[in-house]
Amino acid sequence: MKPEDTALNGSRIFIVAATWKICHLIHCFKPKRPEGNHYNSTSNDPTMRVLILGIDGYIGWPLALHLLERGHNVSGIDNFYTRKRVKEVHSASAIGIGTMKSRLNKIRDETGKDIGFVRGDVSEPRIVYDSVKKFNPDCVVHLAEQRSAPYSMIGLKQATETLQKNMIGTLNLVYALKDHAPNCHLLKLGTMGEYGTPNIDIPEGFFNIEYNGRRDFLPFPKNAGSWYHWSKVHDSNNLMFANRLWEIGVTDVMQGVVYGTRTDALMHLKSSTRLDIDEVWGTALNRFCAQAVAGLPITPYGKGGQTRGFLSLDDSIQCLTIAAENPPEKGEYRVFNQFDDYYSVMDLANEVKRIYDMGHKDPAVIENVPNPRIEKEAHYYNPEMKKLRELGYRPRRSLQEGISEIIRDLEKHRKRILGLREVIMPRTTWKESKGLS
Ligand code: USQ
């Protein structure tokens, strides 16, 4: 894709929508039962013991419900870090989620099954060691990291916290697995942002390179754009090394920006996941929908040609489930690029406006605000995404459906969103990240 192609016009949106519909009709993804978890080699039981670090989060909670519905034994750890830090920037989830206790009780009432839960911080080695030893997981899904790029750029304190917490949590986990569950699959959430926006195609983790007449198959160079994204790069390096040392089976997921409010399991079990829309914790498409609903301008930063991979929450859960149920070989380190399609933020803003305007008499307004980040605003972008498709991933929600659902769901919480108006417009700037103060 050339730079000028990044501005997705109406016809591409239409083609994407039509192609998606056809794919959906043809493939209509049916989750297959695990074909046998080779980590559980002593039994033919296809169900797994899955430990989710960060179970209270946007992805952690719906993933727990989905895995539970698929018959797996699910347990989780969380220290409510996101709840606490979101409150600190005077924000809150746009959709109320209740306490962990009330969530767990409700799921028990709905399903008759329990999700195990430990309140704790994975940057404390004892918490990770005790949980791994006690639960003896077949798979650990590690989502318990500080996940906001703007948060990591507020200042030195937040940058330090992000780098320390994220890297130490992952380090604790690989040591705990080596000592107590060496055959467990580590499914770790990284980010497409690790690659940056190079002027060549982005492979899935590794690429063939020839230099001075010699060839090798090497990790693709990383070029992240925030302390947060760099923390994930450092994690990936540490995971590759732990894998080399102790043969821990790792899936390092390079995930794009996730959007949406719904998954099948959330709907069946009448539960909700958090949805952040403020300038620090909210992400692009969710924010654009919230801005339209709040009557605020939709804010593509700068020229808006920044192009990223996106996927719906439902697809994110589907992909993580596929990865968990199809573990790597013993000793394998593999990288999955995880997104449905890629779009420029300007195209997404236009699409949110188009969909919002169809159902409302006051049209949404788009305002290209000065970019608070340091990033390219027009660039080549062509990441590969083959491995998950080969394992059966088929997008289940189109972009248009996702946007309509977010707008509908947010409208039910309009009053709550209006209360967050002051924290929606961007304030955290990369250049002015605070030092010692
Ligand atoms: N952006 C706007 N307007 C907004 C908000 C964001 O134009 O109001 C732009 C940003 O400048 C950026 C792009 O949208 O170019 C994506 O920003 P984002 O805030 O939606 O996402 P990002 O900071 O990259 O991080 C999010 C998640 C992170 C995840 C990452 C995937 O917070 O946990 O790893 O998406 S990815 O972007 O592929 O690296």
Quick check: 36 pLDDT over 50? Answer: no
C-alpha to C-alpha distances, 178 to 133, 171, 243, 245, 341, nearest whole angstrom: 11, 11, 10, 10, 36
| Alpha carbons 204 and 391: distance in angstroms, whole number | 14
pLDDT computed for residue 13 by the predictor: 46
Question: From ligand 1's centre to the CA of 282, what distance in Å?
Answer: 8
Q: What is the Cβ-side half-sphere exposure of residue 80, based on CA atoms within 13 angstroms?
A: 14
Contact 216, 281 (CB under 8 A): no
* Continuous segment of H or E residues that includes residue 110: helix 100-111
Asked about 330 being catalytic, the answer comes back as no
Residue 233 within a domain: yes
Contact 312, 259 (CB under 8 A): yes
Choice from 188, 191, 311, 428 to test ligand 1 binding pocket (greatest atom count within 8 A of CB)? 191
* End-to-end CA, the chain: 44
Which of 7-21, 28-42, 355-369 is most confident? 355-369
Question: From ligand 1's centre to the CA of 148, what distance in Å?
Answer: 9
Atom of ligand 1 lying closest to residue 309 CA? 38
Residue minimizing CA distance to atom 11 of ligand 1: 301
Six-digit token pair at 245? 């040392």
Q: What share of the chain has pLDDT > 90, as a percent?
A: 89
Residue 356 has a CB neighbour count (10 Å cut-off) of 21
92 is in which domain, residue-wise?
48-423
Q: Which of 126, 191, 115, 188 is nearest to 152 (CA)?
A: 191
Strand partners, 397: none
Residue 19 within a domain: no
Mean pLDDT value of segment 83-93: 98
**Residue 268 CB contacts under 8 Å (≥ 6 apart), including other chains:** 69
Mean pLDDT value of segment 266-276: 97
Question: From ligand 1's centre to the CA of 257, what distance in Å?
Answer: 6
Residue 397 within a domain: yes
pLDDT computed for residue 407 by the predictor: 98
Contact 379, 331 (CB under 8 A): no
Mean pLDDT value of segment 252-263: 98
Atom of ligand 1 lying closest to residue 301 CA? 7
Mean pLDDT value of segment 110-124: 98
Atom of ligand 1 lying closest to residue 148 CA? 32
**Band (37; pLDDT cuts 50, 70, 90):** very low
Question: From ligand 1's centre to the CA of 270, what distance in Å?
Answer: 29
How are beta strands 333-338 and 341-344 bridged, if at all?
unpaired
How are beta strands 139-142 and 49-53 bridged, if at all?
parallel
Atom of ligand 1 lying closest to residue 339 CA? 38
Sheet strand arrangement including 341-344: 257-259, 307-312, 341-344
The finding on whether 151 has its CB within 6 A of some atom of ligand 1 is: no
pLDDT computed for residue 2 by the predictor: 34
Quick check: 71 pLDDT over 50? Answer: yes
Contact 251, 334 (CB under 8 A): yes
Contact 193, 151 (CB under 8 A): no
* Continuous segment of H or E residues that includes residue 258: strand 257-259
How are beta strands 214-219 and 206-211 bridged, if at all?
antiparallel
3-state secondary structure 62-76: HHHHHHHHCCCEEEE
Contact 321, 70 (CB under 8 A): yes
Residue minimizing CA distance to atom 13 of ligand 1: 284
Quick check: 24 pLDDT over 70? Answer: no
Q: DSSP of 349-370, one letter per residue?
A: HHHHHHHHHHT-SSPP-B--BP
| Alpha carbons 186 and 206: distance in angstroms, whole number | 19
Contact 16, 343 (CB under 8 A): no
Mean pLDDT value of segment 209-221: 98
This prediction has a pTM of: 0.92
Q: Please give the biggest Cα pair distance in the chain.
A: 65
Atom of ligand 1 lying closest to residue 189 CA? 34
The finding on whether 191 has its CB within 6 A of some atom of ligand 1 is: yes
Contact 29, 394 (CB under 8 A): yes
Where is average pLDDT lowest: 18-32, 117-131, 256-270, 327-341? 18-32
Asked about 84 being catalytic, the answer comes back as no
Residue with tokens 């020229």, as numbered in its chain: 303
Mean pLDDT value of segment 10-14: 45
Residue 435 within a domain: no
Q: Which of 402, 296, 390 is nearest to 348 (CA)?
A: 402
Q: Which of 274, 265, 261, 212 is nearest to 408 (CA)?
A: 261
Residue 436 within a domain: no
Atom of ligand 1 lying closest to residue 345 CA? 7
Mean pLDDT value of segment 346-351: 98
pLDDT computed for residue 295 by the predictor: 97
Among the listed residues 6, 191, 299, 321, the single catalytic one is 191
Question: From ligand 1's centre to the CA of 424, what distance in Å?
Answer: 14
Quick check: 40 pLDDT over 60? Answer: no
| Alpha carbons 382 and 375: distance in angstroms, whole number | 17
Quick check: 215 pLDDT over 60? Answer: yes
Q: Which of 229, 258, 254, 281 is nearest to 62 (CA)?
A: 258
Beta strands in 29-127 (DSSP E): 49-53, 73-78, 116-119
Quick check: 38 pLDDT over 70? Answer: no
The finding on whether 257 has its CB within 6 A of some atom of ligand 1 is: yes
Quick check: 410 pLDDT over 70? Answer: yes
Residue minimizing CA distance to atom 5 of ligand 1: 284
Among the listed residues 232, 251, 263, 321, the single catalytic one is 232
Alpha helices in 209-326 (DSSP H): 227-246, 264-268, 284-294, 313-325
Residue 151 within a domain: yes
CATH number at residue 79: 3.40.50.720
pLDDT digits (tens, 9 = 90+) for 152-207: 999 999 999 999 999 999 999 999 999 999 999 999 999 999 999 999 999 999 99
Residue 395 within a domain: yes
Question: From ligand 1's centre to the CA of 9, what distance in Å?
Answer: 21
pLDDT computed for residue 43 by the predictor: 56
What's the domain count of the chain?
Answer: 1
Choice from 188, 279, 308 to test ligand 1 binding pocket (greatest atom count within 8 A of CB)? 308
3-state secondary structure 153-179: CCEHHHHHHHHHHHHHHHHHHHHHHHH
pLDDT digits (tens, 9 = 90+) for 118-134: 999 999 999 999 999 99
Q: What share of the chain has pLDDT > 70, as a percent?
A: 90
Asked about 191 being catalytic, the answer comes back as yes
pLDDT computed for residue 46 by the predictor: 86
State the chain's mean pLDDT as an integer: 92
Residue 352 within a domain: yes
Question: From ligand 1's centre to the CA of 309, what distance in Å?
Answer: 10
The finding on whether 147 has its CB within 6 A of some atom of ligand 1 is: yes
Among the listed residues 151, 228, 259, 333, the single catalytic one is 228
pLDDT computed for residue 33 by the predictor: 41
Question: From ligand 1's centre to the CA of 340, what distance in Å?
Answer: 15
Quick check: 147 pLDDT over 60? Answer: yes
Where is average pLDDT lowest: 5-19, 49-63, 350-364? 5-19
Contact 56, 143 (CB under 8 A): no
How are beta strands 73-78 and 116-119 bridged, if at all?
parallel
Atom of ligand 1 lying closest to residue 298 CA? 8
